[in-house]
Structure 1
Amino acid sequence: MAQNQVTGTAKRPFGFRDLLGYFMGDFGCNMSFTLISSYMFIFYTQYIGISLAHYSIVILITKILDGINDPIIGAIVDRMGANKKGEKFKQWILRGAPFLALAATVMFIDAADWSYPAKLALCIGGYILWDVTYTVVNVPYGALSSVMTSKPSQRAALSNARSWGYIIAGVPLGILIPLFAYEQVTKNGQTASIFRGERMFPIAVILGIVSIIAFALLYLNTEERIQHAETEGEEVKFNYFKTLKDFFRNRAILGIALASIAQILFIMGGNQLHQLTYQMYFGDGTLSSYSILTQIIPLFVGTALGGALVGKLGKKELSTWPLIGSIAVYAFLYLVEIKNPILWITMQIIANSFAFGLTIYTWGMVADAIDYQEWKTGIRNEGSVYATYSMLRKVAQGFGQSFIPAAIAILIPTLDVKDAMTWNAENSLAIRDMAALFPLIGYIIIFICFKFVFNLDRKTVREMQVALGRDEE
C-alpha cells in the first residue's frame, strides 16, 4: 500500500503557533454553533412562534438529512487531497468561513410578523444552509489535528486548545447575550422574564465577522505535517464504503462516537433545559449569564490537573473514572429540590469539574481513533473517518434538539413556552427535574462507553504509534 505511506515534510516544528491556530478554529466554529445551539430553540419557539411539535419535526428531519453531508464532504476532501502548498484541510476552512458567517446571520432574521408557512420555510431553509456551510468548515477542521502531529502529548494539547476555543467563544454568548436578550415584563400582575428575539440579528452579524477573522488566524498559524506519498504512476483509489465498513469495526471510534452521542443528547440537550430552568423555575433568564461558569471553571480545573497527569495516566483513564463524581452530583440535584440558583450553578460546576476529561481530551481521543483505523487496515482516510464520526454527531444533534421540545410537549402538556401564564410552580419544577435527569443519564452512558467500548488506553496508544513509525512522546 505504497500510496498510503505517511511522510513528513520540511515544515517548522510543532509549537505554540499551532495551538493558537487550532484554538482559533474552534473559537470561529462556535461563534455560530454555540449561538445556534443555545438560542435557536428559544428564538423560533418563544419569539418567532413555531410550535414545539413543528420545531421538533423540522430539526429532526433537517439534521438527519444534513448528516449525509458529512461523509460526502469527507470523501471529497480525501479524493481531492492536498493542494500545491501541501494543504489538504486548511484550504477548505479558509474558503468556507465567509459562507458560514453569512448562513448564521440568516438564521436570526426577524420573521416574527411573517406568515406561519414563511416562518417554517426560514427555519428549515436557514438551518439547512447553515448546516451545510458548517460541515464544509468543521469536517476539515476536525480532521486537521490528525495531520498536525502524531505525538500523544501534542494531540492532548491540541484537544485542550480546541476545548478552550469552545469555552472562550461561549463567554460573550453566555454572559452578554442573556443580559441583552431578556427583559422583565409585568402583565396581568405577573412578572416574567421575556426573550427579546429581535435583538439577535445584529449579534449574529458581529459574531460572523469575528469568526472570519478567527479562521484566517487558524490558516496562518497551523501546519499540516503528516502527508501521504503516492506511488509514481499509480492512481490513488478511494472507496468510502470500505472506509465505512472499517469504521464500524473500529472499537475506538465507535466508543468515542457513542459517548459523543450521549453527550449531545443528554448533556448538551440539558443545556436547553437549564436555560428554561433559569427563566421559569428561578424566574430570571439573565441567570443564564452565570452558566458559563459551569464550563469555564471545570476547564481551568482540568487544565491544571490534566496537564500533569495525562502523560502518566493517559487520556482514556483521565476521562473515565472521575465521571463517577459527575453522576453522584446530578443524582443529588435530581433527588433534592434546590431553590437557590447560586447553589444550583455551584453544583453544576462541581459535576462538570469531575468531567474535565470529557471536555479536554475527546478530540485527542478522536485523533487516536483515526490512527487506530490506519493501524488495523493499513489505509489512512482522515477526512472520511472524521466525517463519518461527525455524521453520527449531526444525527445525534438532530435527535437532541428535537428530543427536548418533544419531551417537554409530552411530559409537561400544560406548559406553553410562549405563554408565561403557564409557567406555574408545577410546570417549572418539572422543567428543573428534567434539567437534572438528562445529564445524569448522559454521564452514566458516557462512563460505560469509555470504560467498556473505547479500547485505546495509554499502553495501546504507545504500541500503536510505534507500529505506525511515529514518535510516541
Structure 2
Amino acid sequence: MTVQTAVKETQGVTETNGRTKSTTYDTSKRPFGKRDIFGYFMGDLGGNFSFDLVNMYMFIFFTQFIGIELTHYALIILIAKILDGVNDPLIGMLIDRFRLKTNDKFKPWIIRMAPFLAFTMSIMFIDASDWSYSAKLVLFAGSYILWDLLYTFVNVPYGALSSVMTSKPSQRTALSTARSIGGFVPNILYGIFIPMVIYADMVVDGESKSIFQGDMMFPITIVTGFLAIICYIALYKNTEERIIHVNKENSKEEKYSFIETILHFFKNRAMLGLTLVALAQILFVNGAMQLNSLTFQMYFNDGSLNSYTIILTLIPMVLGATVGNKLVSRFGKKEIIVYPMIVSIAIYLVMLIAPISNPFVWLGLQGLASVFSFGLVMYTWAMVSDAIDYQEWKTGKRNEGSVYSMYSMVRKVGQGLGSSVVPATIAFLLPTLKLNDAATWTAESATGIKNLSVGFPIVGFILIILALLFVYNLDKKTLNKVQKDLGHESE
C-alpha cells in the first residue's frame, strides 16, 4: 500500500506506515478570530516596510545615485542571494529544533530579530555617493548580505506561523488574503509618496530629465524602520499558535532529520509546483517592477508617474476581499489563478506590439491585466500552507520551519537571480545605456526598456500556468482528503 492510501484518522491521531502523528489543539488559547487576521496582516505589513523599500529602491539607489556599475551590482546580488538561500534551510532547521524558552515556536524569533532588521535597512541607504568606489562596494555588499540574513530570521517563522494558527481552509485563505493586503500597503505608500520627493526635473545636455535624489532615502528608512517594529509588536500580541504536532514512531520520540526533510521536500509535487511558480513570479513578474519604473522615467520622461502603478495594486486586493473567497470555494485556488491569467497575457501582448505614447493608456492596460491576475497575488500563501499539510500527509512528519525555509530558500535565490537578471539584461541588450548618465537615455534605449517591462511578465505568466497545470497536484478534491485524513478541523 502506498503512503497516500495508508493514511487514516483515529481519534484525532493520524497513522502513516507505522508512524503516528498527534495533531492536537492548545485549548488554553482563544479561538481563531478577526484578531488573528489583523495580527497576521500586521506581520507582513512590518516585513514589507523593509522588504518593499529595498525591493523598489535599492536598484536605482545604488546604480543611479551611488554609482555602482550594473555588472557589479548584478554579481553582488547574485552572490548574496545564493548565500542567503543556503542560510534559509539552516535557519529553518534551527527554528524547528530549538525554542526560545517559550511555548510558542515561531513568534519569539520574529519579535527578537525585528529591531536588528530595521536598523540594518537604514545602514544600507546611507549617502555614500562621495565615498571611494571600493568603499561603496563594501557598503553595498556588506549591508545587503546582513539585511538579507536578518530578514530570513524574521520571514521564515512568519511564513510558517499561519500553518499552526488554524487548519481550516477558509481561515487559511483569510490569512493569505490578510498577508497579501499587508504586503501591498507599504508598496502603495512607497509607490505614491516617495516618488513625489525623490525625483526632480533637471536639464541635462539641453533636455529636461527626471533625476533620482538618493540623499532622501536615509531619513525615509528611519521612519519606516520604526513603523516596522510597531507592526511586529502587533503581530506578536494578536496572533496565537494553536496547533501542536508531536512526531512519534513506535511509541518513541522520533529524531529530527534535516536531510530527510529536504528529500521529502523534493518529492512533494505541491511544494515543487509552488516553488516553480515563485521562481517565475520573482524572476519575471516582480522583476518587471524595476523595468516599469525605468519605463516611466525614460520612455514617458516622468519618473513620478510610477506612483500611479501602485494604485493599480489595489485591484487584486479589492477583488480578493470582495468576491475572491466565494470564487475559491466554488472553483479552487489553482483554477482561480490559472485561467484568468491567460487574459492577462493577451493584454500584455497588446502592450508589447501597440505603439502606446500616452502613459495613462499604458496605466489603464496595466490595471486591466491586474484584474485577471489577482489570484496569483492573493492565494499563493494559502497554497503554501496546504503544501506543508500535504508533506505531513505523505510522510507522517511535520517540520513547518524546515519545509517553509526550503521554499523560502528558492524564493531568495529567485530574488537574487531576478535582481541580477534585470541589470544583466539591460547591460546585454542595451549596452550604450548608462543608468547613472541621463545623456545616454536615447529614444531607442527608452523603447527597449518599455518592451522589456511587458516582455518579462508575459514570460512569467506562461511559466506559472505551466507549473500549476502540470506540477502542482492539489485540486479541491485531493486537498479535502488531505485535510480529512490529517484530522484537521472541517468547515
Q: Is the pair's TM-score, using the shorter chain for normalization, greater than 0.5?
A: yes
2:481 to 463, 468, 473: 463
SS in 2 for 1:273: helix
For 1:18 and 1:371, locate their aligned partners in 2 and report how far apart those are by CA, in whole Å.
20
Match of 1:311 among 329, 340, 360: 329
CA contact (8 A) 1:255 1:454 kept: yes
- Quick check: 1:302–1:353 contact (8 Å CA) kept in 2? no
The amino acid that maps onto 1:408 is I
* Distance in 2 (alpha carbons) for counterparts of 1:37 and 1:308: 32
Distance in 1, matches of 2:43 and 2:245, equals: 24
Residue equivalent to 1:99: 116
**Pairs within 5 Å for 1:386-425:** 386-425=404-443
Report the RMSD for the aligned CA atoms in angstroms.
1.4
Matches within 5 A, 1:374-453: 374-453=392-471
* CA-CA distance at 1:26 after TM superposition: 0.5
State the 1:303 CA deviation: 2.5
TM-superposed CA distance for 1:395, in Å, is 0.3
Displacement after TM superposition at 1:229 (Å): 3.6
Q: Is the 8 A contact 2:204 2:438 kept in 1?
A: no
1:179 aligned partner: 196
For the 8 Å contact 1:93–1:141, the answer to whether it is kept is yes
Structure 1 position 301, deviation (Å): 2.1
Identity %: 54
Any unmatched runs of 5+ in structure 2? 1-17
Q: Match of 1:156?
A: 173
Per the alignment, residue 364 of structure 1 pairs with 382
2:257 counterpart of 1:257: no
Query: 1:363 aligns to what SS in structure 2?
Result: helix
Give the TM-score of the pair, scaled to structure 2. Answer: 0.94
1-structure distance, mates of 2:268, 2:349: 33
What secondary structure, in the 3-state scheme, does the structure 2 residue paired with 1:370 have?
helix
Deviation string for 1:261-298 (max 9, x for gaps)? 00000010000000100100000010111111221123
Q: Show the counterpart of 2:205.
A: 188
Is the counterpart of residue 87 in structure 1 residue 104 in structure 2?
A: yes
Q: What is the CA deviation profile of residues 346-398 of structure 1, one whole-angstrom value per residue up to 9, with x for unaligned ones?
A: 11111121111100000000000000000000000000000000000000000
CA contact (8 A) 2:19 2:396 kept: no
| Aligned positions of 1:56-71 closer than 5 A | 56-71=74-89
Partner of residue 31, structure 1? 49
Residue 131 (structure 2) pairs with residue 114 (structure 1): yes
Q: Secondary structure at the match of 1:68?
A: helix
Q: Which amino acid aligns with 1:402?
A: S
Alignment-derived partner of residue 53 in structure 1: 71
Give CA deviations for 1:43-87 in whole Å, capped at 9, x if unaligned.
000000000011011101111111111101100000014743x21
Check conservation: 1:2, 1:229, Cα contact below 8 A: no
SS of the residue 1:249 aligns to: coil
Distance (Å, rounded) in 2 between the aligned partners of 1:143 and 1:82: 16
SS at match of 2:313: helix
Report the CA distance between 1:3 and its aligned residue: 7.2
CA-to-aligned-CA distance 1:391-435 (integer Å, 9 cap, x gap): 000000000001100000000011111111111111100000000
Gaps of 5+ in 1: none
1:344 counterpart = 2:380: no
CA distance in 2, matches of 1:294, 1:450: 25
- In structure 1, distance between residues paired with 2:188 and 2:450: 24
Aligned residues: 472
Q: Structure 1, residues 84-125: CA drift from partner, whole Å, max 9, x if none?
A: 3x2100010110110110111111011000000000000000
Report whether the alignment pairs 1:132 with 2:149.
Answer: yes
TM-score by length of 1: 0.98
